[in-house]
Chain A
């Protein structure tokens, strides 16, 4: 809220100007989303027409069904792959990252600090830079074009463990001490006390990881070398540069791909904003 003294608040003209600027910016930010939907419901001819128009000449809802039945554009399968990968990766990261973070934050062990540095050191090396060495490793394991190759290397993200450690450090100790007096061990305390009381944090991390996993491109592009292992991002990219593809189907796929994320975004907006602001992480 604006608690500044009256004299330091913008006047009516300033406020009006501010809203006008924000409204113009908002329209520009929403335009690409509108174009995705517009193109998805248009015909090929409408999209590539030399006459640009804001509205399609007619709406073609049957495009949605076409996306899932057209055998020449395996988008339905790619969407399924993306879903499986994103779910497995999000679940796996939450489990492994929270366990490691809890151990580092709460179990006194003489080498804990050294191991913490080992985790933090990986934050210094940007993930995108390691794709060449990671590809070399994964291909010598024979995991190219497989679900294992797409999911497993992405489970061990130093940043997730780091975030969970920081979060657990600020978890109220009294709750855990009560559990210890009741005879629970480390596992019991973690599983029955800490996890159920950390729903908000787990949810924020889950949403951010899910979006990141769903939208990731470089690694799936490198590993998904045959059509069966394409994710929706790789499939769209492949058709983006190819000739003779139904452009409207491409946009239907884009709309189907971002609709769930947009819904999650709108519903969990406050949550997400707080999560991002607190941790400074990127989706």
Chain B
């Protein structure tokens, strides 16, 4: 080995060994387990072929993917609109800009567990107390059991608002960075061409120029929604257990693989399906929205 190669391995080796042990081996092992009947064991001997995958695609796991879809349908457009709105509003003010930017970014420092606590115990708490029900009461409305009743599904309001609060600031920062890359000359040209300030300029200059950022925000928020776990687990879980409704993929896998059944075979199959789905959606969405297309 040359001195150069030796130096290379000294720098890269420690990280790479860890990556192989803690990333590649688990994934490979999981792929292996997904073809076996592996309940409570990690060295199974009953080969079942693709049965675990078939079970997952027809059973409650498929239902949990539906739960995710409902969640994504709310959270992705709302996150996009709110983050963009705040970014545009904050970016063009002169006074107290850093203050507002900090305030909206601050919840990013908060954990999902803490947010779930506030949402569950103070904002959307049971029938008797809680801010949301107090506000409803001011308007003469009956209180709502926000989390314990799937019909009507008010729990979505709680789940979606909690995540919006936690994440919008992060995406707002991405949009602000995008806004600051738009050259002023474009706005000057629009002015010369007689564009009216406000909506026209936004529609024809700002928004098209934000295209790369918009794609990134859509992709990142969708992938983050796939992996929702913390707020679902903490808002809907109780000492008595977890309800069937509002169970996104990761929560389902958690209870399947690490709950009573310790079903690593089905759990592994589900994890791999989910990873595959995320990769597929990323590629597809990237293709549809022209990710990687050279900007003019």
Contacts and interface: CB of A to CB of B under 8 A. Distances in A.
A236 B117 contact: yes
B176 A277 contact: yes
Residue with the greatest number of chain B CB neighbours at <10 A, chosen from A15, A52, A214: A52
Main SS of the interface on chain A?
helix
A261 B78 CA distance: 27
18 contacts: A30-B103, A103-B10, A109-B8, A129-B227, A130-B27, A131-B271, A135-B258, A137-B29, A155-B18, A185-B7, A186-B10, A217-B111, A222-B254, A237-B113, A251-B117, A257-B114, A261-B110, A273-B105
Given A7-B197, A129-B271, A156-B15, 19 more contacts: A5-B188, A8-B190, A26-B100, A36-B118, A102-B11, A109-B5, A115-B12, A126-B226, A128-B229, A128-B250, A133-B30, A133-B33, A133-B268, A137-B25, A161-B15, A215-B111, A236-B114, A240-B116, A261-B110
Interface of B: 4-5, 7-8, 10-12, 14-16, 18-19, 21-27, 29-30, 33, 42, 86, 89-90, 92-94, 98, 100-123, 128-131, 133-134, 165, 169-170, 173-174, 176-177, 184, 187-188, 190-191, 195, 197-198, 201, 216, 220, 223-224, 226-227, 229-230, 233-234, 237-239, 250, 253-254, 257-258, 264, 267-268, 270-271, 274-275, 278-279
Of all A-B residue pairs in the complex, the 5 with the closest CB atoms, nearest first, are A103-B11, A133-B30, A277-B177, A133-B26, A156-B18
Interface of A: 1-5, 7-10, 14-15, 18-19, 21-22, 25-26, 29-30, 32-33, 35-36, 39, 47-52, 96-97, 99-100, 102-104, 107-110, 112, 115, 118-119, 122, 124-126, 128-137, 139-140, 152-153, 155-156, 158, 161, 185-187, 190, 211, 214-215, 217-218, 221-222, 233, 236-237, 240-243, 247, 250-251, 254, 257-258, 261-262, 264-266, 269-270, 272-273, 276-278, 280, 282-283
